[in-house]
Structure 1
């Protein structure tokens, strides 16, 4: 099962058909994705299930429905146990960004975290969950596929928000602050935190 978010509402990719209760079922092969997005954005429906009988083909078939944007990002732990967050578009988020040229996804994640926050000395510890969300740019819907990595650093320098990317704050948050920040964050970030 995969979840692709439209705002905070998920499109659930599944091979199981269950009775509709607060959501709708559609067949993945024949669904009009634009109508699903509109339904999630404009109605009270909580989620949509897209069904295909072959579990191993769910994601591949879905990703063909819209242009894909590949991104890398980091959940960065400081030696003191705090986690690095950015504040962008009035929401708490983790630093991430699009792949450039033929760089590796690991290189993308390290570069984007450094560019968006000013943090150096980053080291990848392990890969995390990949997230999927649909966004609209220049009148067209696209799927952002973000490969996340747990990172660590002992950086003690000044945090610098990349303002031209809409980032207004960069902060190291402790456990209590993270719990509070998740009240104003994205569903896919909540999955990672």
Structure 2
């Protein structure tokens, strides 16, 4: 199953109708035009769309092929007080992440981005938590961004937000206070948070 985000609209591509996703609109595979879907989703209200197809991988590759692919990596960082690291960027709560440098390994990039964006040293980079897909425009071109997320650990350190990346705050937040984040974040980030074992 693939879940592609355009702002807070999700396009799910699967070989079955997923359960527990709430209200959704089913998409006809035959007449689907991704560019038109992107235009509508970009300016429309948040919604969940589902495309059921026999071969989700093939369909996803077909949709993605005409567009530039950007690789990124990020961290879901937990400290010894069972708090998680969040950043506040451009008016929304987010998780630290960023694009891979040329030739850089995903895991290395994830650790580097956390260090740069929050001014901390990561003590442990664990396994992959998930990967997410986000579609947006960069210099007038529609791009697909694939972000690989890693579980990480760090000591409770002073946080220094990377202001040049428009990060105005970095904060340790306990799971009991995630509602603050969820009220003002992206649907993609909510999905990543749903995978955290608290």
With the length of structure 1 as denominator, give the TM-score of the two structures.
0.88
Deviates more, 1:137-146 or 1:106-115: 137-146
1:7 match: 7
1:177 match: 177
Q: Post-superposition shift, 1:60?
A: 2.6
Q: SS at 2:28's partner residue?
A: strand
For 2:17 and 2:156, the matched residues in 1 are separated by 49
2:162 match: 162
CA contact (8 A) 2:86 2:170 kept: yes
For 1:38 and 1:84, the matched residues in 2 are separated by 33
Q: Post-superposition shift, 1:44?
A: 4.7
Q: SS at 1:184's partner residue?
A: coil
* One of 18, 25, 28 as aligned partner of 1:26: 28
Aligned: 1:101 with 2:102: yes
1:150 match: 151
CA contact (8 A) 2:74 2:111 kept: yes
For 2:24 and 2:154, the matched residues in 1 are separated by 43
Give runs of aligned pairs for residues 20-169 of structure 1, distance below 5 A: 23-27=25-29, 31-44=32-45, 46-156=47-157, 158-169=158-169
Q: Post-superposition shift, 1:187?
A: 0.8
Which runs of 5 or more structure 2 residues have no equivalent in the other structure? 194-198
1:187 match: 187
For 1:17 and 1:191, the matched residues in 2 are separated by 18
Please report the RMSD computed on the Cα atoms of aligned residues, expressed in angstroms. Answer: 2.1
For 2:144 and 2:54, the matched residues in 1 are separated by 22
With the length of structure 2 as denominator, give the TM-score of the two structures.
0.86
CA contact (8 A) 1:26 1:48 kept: no
CA contact (8 A) 1:68 1:143 kept: yes
Q: Post-superposition shift, 1:129?
A: 1.1
